[in-house]
Amino acid sequence: MSPDTPRPSDAVALPPPPPAWPMVRALVGVGLVCAVLIVLVYQYTRPIIAANQLEARQAAVFQVLPGAVSSTTYRYVEGEGFTPVADDASGDDLVFAGYDRQGRLVGVAVEAVGMGYQDAVRVLYGYAPDRQAIVGMQVLDSRETPGLGDRANTDPDFLANFAALDVSLTEDGQRIAHPIEAVKHGEKTEPWQIDCITGATITSTAIADMMRESTAVWVPRIAASLDAFQSREVTP
């Protein structure tokens, strides 16, 4: 054995490991503080987010119902029909009636939700009973691929589909005579068809599908309950 080789008895003794409790206590403490901060931030921002969503929704109503300058929110209850509710109401059973400057009904806006390419897509569309047509559509919430699926809210050719999209009812008023359908770009031949966006066919088709399902439910309800949406006085 070399003189420089440390002997077993010469090995430096390692200190004992620190107790685990202080580390656990610190981690739990940090976790609790983070949880409390998250809750506080959520509670603080929730009314702000809700107010912004309400403002965006009201602006969208006027976008999808050209000529409307005021709106009233209605809730639909099966067997009871449509009843006015507060503008900040929430739920899947709401519609939004739009009125012109003379207080005459322009149309009714309805939300629809469906699965797009990446996530759920939520739209608002405007139905004009006198024309039996969809007269506007706006995407309210979407996480589709930038430059492709998100063109549903900006592509002028795609938006033109909703200037007068036919949703006429059958003679008995119980169903849509020609359900909305999506077709490949450039192949639209009927007023109830939606001409898809090239490169964003999945998103375009998803919007067509959700609107077909939504109009099948809401258009007959609205058309049969027009008395509920009587003209409103508009405050100058």
Q: What is the pLDDT of residues 115-145, one digit of tens each?
A: 766 667 889 999 999 999 999 999 887 664 5
The Cα-based distances of 25 to 19, 21, 37, 217 in angstroms read 11, 6, 18, 56
What phi and psi values does residue 53 have, to the nearest 5 degrees? -65, -40
Residue 8 confidence (pLDDT): 56
Q: What is the pTM of this model?
A: 0.75
Q: Could you say which DSSP state residue 101 is in?
A: T
- What's the whole-number average pLDDT of the chain? 83
Mean pLDDT of 60-81: 93
Tokens of 57: 């929704």
DSSP H or E run through 206:
helix 201-223
Tokens of 49: 């987010």
Tokens of 198: 């090239």
Cα of first residue to Cα of last residue in the chain, in angstroms, is 105
